Amino acid sequence: MDNYERALEFWRRKIIGTDGELAEALDGFGIAFAYHSGKIENDSVTYRDVREIFERGGVTAYTGGLRTLLEIRNAKEAHEMLLRAFRAKRPLDEAFIKELHFCLTQNTYDARRRQLGERPGEYKRHDYVTGREEAGAAPEDVTDEMGELLEELRDVAAEHALTAAAYFHAKFENIHPFADGNGRAGRAAMNYLLVLHGHPPVIVHEEDREEYYAALEAWDARQELAPLCGFLRRQTEKTCLSIVDGTNIERNL
């Protein structure tokens, strides 16, 4: 049994049927996920600030920018939304994606995007691309492409959860449905899909961002999913180690 299989066994030994049981199983995860997911695209995010906001609702002696503070607070709200969604067993559908995106990006869109009519929780109205391949669906195609993607994931078997999550994340980032916040929304929605199918959620660790970007670009350039599947498998192992043993977190204090 390799470390990935041990991580699956560790997760599946837990009894998770309610949002309370999920919250207990995720003890320590929400803070670590918010820290790493935020820092991937905003290097001003610190573990100390994330922990204070999650545990106390505010920060002391904060000297950073307002947007960073709002992003961390939004991450906490999104975490709570995911717990409520699990309680209701909400499907991963368009309404869910838009609500999650709103939670993560409210009050963070810059003036230029707002002047262009872009809003948190709404699909983009203008062209925005990502990565070396400049991936991104045309605004008029986003609704159809997202609908097709979500329809493909309606009947995922538990044993294929990781592959389905990798496929969702690769396609979601390739579509790039929102004007901003696609990475944070995609990673959070991917974890919701994993948890719904009995798989442990995954932290994409900020120190591994280059490998992460390369795995996403393998899909953009060649529609190769294996690099992202392998990456998420290794991140699952690392996530369990960091949450259980506290590695890769305290050093960031």
- Evaluate if residue 160 carries a pLDDT over 80: yes
Q: Give me the pLDDT at residue 253, please.
A: 32
Q: Give me the pLDDT at residue 1, please.
A: 77
- Evaluate if residue 47 carries a pLDDT over 80: yes
From the number of C-beta atoms within 10 Å of its C-beta (0-12, 13-18, 19+), residue 244 rates as exposed
Cα radius of gyration rounded to whole Å, the chain: 17
Alpha helices in the chain (DSSP H): 3-12, 19-25, 29-41, 47-56, 66-88, 94-105, 111-115, 142-152, 161-175, 182-196, 209-222, 226-245
- Evaluate if residue 244 carries a pLDDT over 60: no
- Evaluate if residue 46 carries a pLDDT over 60: yes
- Evaluate if residue 248 carries a pLDDT over 60: no
More confident residue, 83 or 25: 83
Q: Give me the pLDDT at residue 27, please.
A: 84
Cα–Cα distance between 112 and 72 in angstroms, integer? 22
Q: Give me the pLDDT at residue 247, please.
A: 42
Angle (deg, nearest 10), helices 29-41 and 47-56:
140
The dotted CATH code for 3-252 is 1.10.3290.10
Q: Domain ranges in the chain?
A: 3-252
Cα–Cα distance between 168 and 63 in angstroms, integer? 37
- Report pLDDT digits (tens) over 94-140: 999 999 999 999 999 999 999 999 999 999 999 998 877 778 999 99
More confident residue, 62 or 43: 43
**pTM recorded for the entire structure:** 0.93
- Report pLDDT digits (tens) over 175-234: 999 999 999 999 999 999 999 999 999 999 999 999 999 999 999 999 999 999 999 999
Q: Give me the pLDDT at residue 243, please.
A: 65
